[in-house]
Structure 1
């Protein structure tokens, strides 16, 4: 039994979207439950021995940047589908849709959780809509260029960090053997003195491996009153969203364009032969996993050195994750073509049809467990290890795989999908 589409929906896209939104939680659970630094540096919190070690390794290899890449591709494909069905008013309706998504994201980020992706998607969605009519080859070239742009910008930032580190090491070496010692307030690099360079490096190091006092401050903010939580979160949202829009948005734009290419080619619609999807699955994993492993192995051998991790090692997962994401797409498309796991596919498709609602439900459940919210939450922030977090993720999966089909048995859309549609097109 294959998944039957509700109305004119593409059923394989719903299954893939459901798979992606569930997969995102494997990584996001760290940002919900642990200090901010643990999202990038597993040594900062959450445990990194025994089962915790292997859970993090598996998550990094198969999930980190992989499911969000799939979700970004699907968002780009969804723009093509929406505008094709919306008729002459497509562009105007699309911008209303993105404007409301931006507002949803702003509320989500400021009031609930700093790790929001809705604002990024709204901004990028407002740009890529103008590219949807480009030739497939042009879309592919543009996607590649945009993906390389984020890598280049981040690489330049990493190179600057290494240059600052090397300059300070040399300054300290000279200061140890020179009498009188060189002036720490004189210009050392890029208009900065040694004092200023040291301060910036210390700040970067503390973001990667924060001292106990900083972790205690973050824990107190998220487990205390709601006003404490807001005071801590708002500056974090401004910094994170600012960086994301300036640097990471180019990757997101590139992935959205790649999603348009995959839709146009028929790969996302399960329209190609089994052999094509099998080749995509095998090729994506065979190419991507070794690349991701190289960066992971370098981090493990360096003890997650903050300079190495931020200047070189991140590049391997940046590029490898795209190939692994394509491997997952090929594998899920194969599943959609087969008769296997029919009931699971129907449930996964329901999760995908309610992706917006399920994404926000992740936030509501997890922040209730890990934040204090002035006594309304359980205040478990920075208390759980990775085994416990994985069990929670699986429990949320079970909840959403049960709840989504149940809701759609009585309603055509998820609650937030319904609201978004009504706000976008009030007359419908």
Structure 2
């Protein structure tokens, strides 16, 4: 449900708009406010929660499975196939293949202690953030040199060529997205394969370290009992205080910097890919603690049970959302791509949430497991058995 808060922009607008609020749309105050709220509270945090829970699921599954290595790799193989089909046939923003590839590394850490897992996850996050931060610091230096009054022409040309690859208004990438995604299914598929075909590799390059760090921390939290109800309310509140106290002030400062820079492309990309990583990790952990605290406090409320049902069908809903949203926005459906304001997109989010919250309890009451969860399990079991 939280992932859709961010992905809705990629479903409905050119890819540049995900990072730069001026890359597509009118730049209305309400749109900028929506973008700022997402930056402050949700951007990176929802992917972080998903990766945390993925890591936790891997270690919990390993604890109870016979032939755990074979079964794990069978599950990752099936997940990779789903991801390939999803990314190239439905929506270019797939995360499943990314998780399947990184998930193949996790058995190395299966038997580590919770402390070792947590330390490894934190180190991976910090090192990845530091490496990317140095690169963007260098780009800011290039910007300063290239915009100086006496800058050499060759340096200015290099700077402009580099800047042309960043999300900004009027970019060639946005124009190509509009032309493709307003077309028919064959046109869009050709674009996904032949123009955007390297997206999975780019995702590994730009976000792989962050995702792996989250997965390791999720494994640690599962081993520590946090995700199985073992933490007290006091422990959850402590994580909220520390996580929000460390993360939110810095994320707020980076968001203010983006506005103050007039959405400079280098500042936006640096915030998105590098500088914010440790601080959005802290707030992702605080979000997790808050969710667990609320779920415990209001466990008997119908809405909590409905949300839990959505969680049990998360794989199905992730893919279902892509089918629904691409049908609404792409040319072969209602053709609304690039025609709906950023703020109005959240009406579609609310509608999709209503579907999830209504369908999930009904389906689970009759079938006990989501349809794609069942298919994933059956295919993985067949592969595992076939390799015995």
Q: TM-score, normalised by structure 1?
A: 0.84
Q: Matches of 2:194 and 2:140 in 1, distance apart?
A: 26
In structure 1, the residue corresponding to 2:43 is in which secondary structure? coil
Supply the distance in 2 between the matched residues of 1:26 and 1:49 (Cα, whole angstroms): 19
Q: Is the 8 A contact 1:153 1:247 kept in 2?
A: no
Q: Report the 3-state secondary structure (helix = DSSP H, G, I; strand = E; otherwise coil) of the residue aligned with 1:387.
A: coil
Q: How does 1:51-90 map to 2 (within 5 A)?
A: 51-87=30-66, 89-90=67-68
Displacement after TM superposition at 1:208 (Å): 1.3
Partners of 1:314 and 1:108 in 2: CA distance: 24
Match of 2:262 in 1: 303
Query: Which residue matches 1:327?
Result: 286
Aligned residue for 1:92? 70
1:380 alignment partner, SS class: coil
Out of 193, 200, 211, the position equivalent to 2:161 is 200
> Which residue number corresponds to residue 407 of structure 1?
363
Deviations 1:5-45 (A, max 9, x none): xxxxxxxxxxxxxxxxx001000001100111011111112
Q: CA deviation at 1:201?
A: 1.7
Give yes or no for contact 1:66–1:322 (8 Å, CA) kept in 2. Answer: yes
Equivalent residue in structure 2 for 1:248, among 207, 221, 233: 207
Structure 1 unmatched runs, 5+: 1-21, 176-181, 189-193
Using the alignment, how far apart are the partners of 1:386 and 1:312 within structure 2? Answer: 20
Distance in structure 1 (CA, Å) of the matches to 2:86 and 2:266: 33
Considering only CA atoms, is the larger Rg found in Structure 1 or Structure 2? 1
> Tell me, what secondary structure is at the counterpart of 2:23?
coil
Post-superposition offset of 1:383 = 0.6
Hey, what does 1:149 align to over in structure 2?
127
CA distance in 1, matches of 2:234, 2:82: 41
d(CA) in 1 for partners of 2:159, 2:151: 15
Aligned residues: 384
2:223 to 251, 259, 264: 264
What's the counterpart of residue 392 of structure 1? Answer: 348
The answer to whether structure 1 residue 424 and structure 2 residue 383 are counterparts is no
Partner of 1:140: 118
Partner of 2:150: 173
**Contiguous gaps of at least 5 residues in structure 2:** none
In structure 2, distance between residues paired with 1:39 and 1:366: 16
User: Residue 231 of structure 1 is aligned with which of 190, 193, 197?
Assistant: 190
Deviation at 1:314, TM superposition (A): 5.5
TM-score by length of 2: 0.92
Q: Is the 8 A contact 1:372 1:378 kept in 2?
A: yes
